[in-house]
Amino acid sequence: MDCLFCKIILGEVPAQVVSETEHTLAFRDINPQAPVHVLVIPKIHVPNFAALAEHPEALAAVAAQAAAVAKAEGVDASGYRVVFNTGSGAGQTVFHVHAHLLGGRGLNWPPG
């Protein structure tokens, strides 16, 4: 399967890995939108948030790692955002589900 994030998991495409668990990988976004911008992905290939919701253990693992990375990156006290862009109309460009962890600056609401 021609999936960029599966290739990152396999080490075929380099990435700045922040942390790894049995079921998830966290790495820095190549085009960061905030001082802390980390992508957290499950190691199983599922295309989007709806598909991830059908795998509760993977969903929980992604959530747990996002929270752990937020703490490790020191943005848990100041506040951070976890976003799943879902569908091209919402800005999804890579169809291997990923949580964006954003922090280290003020984050406006509503988002754009």
Q: To the nearest whole angstrom, how small is the minimum distance from the Cβ of residue 59 to ligand 5GP?
A: 17
Structure tokens given for 7 = 């290739």
State which of positions 40-59 bind Zn ion (CB under 5 A): 45
Count CB neighbours of 26 within 10 A. 25
Instruction: Based on the residue annotation, tell me whether 100 is a catalytic residue of this protein.
Output: no
**The entry of ligand 5GP, Zn ion, none that residue 85 binds, CB within 5 to 8 Å by partner kind:** ligand 5GP
Question: DSSP assignment of 67-102, as one string?
Answer: HHHHHHTT-TTT-EEEE---SGGGT---SS--EEEE
Any idea which residues carry the catalytic annotation? 98
Binding site for Zn ion (CB under 5 A): 3, 5-6, 45, 96
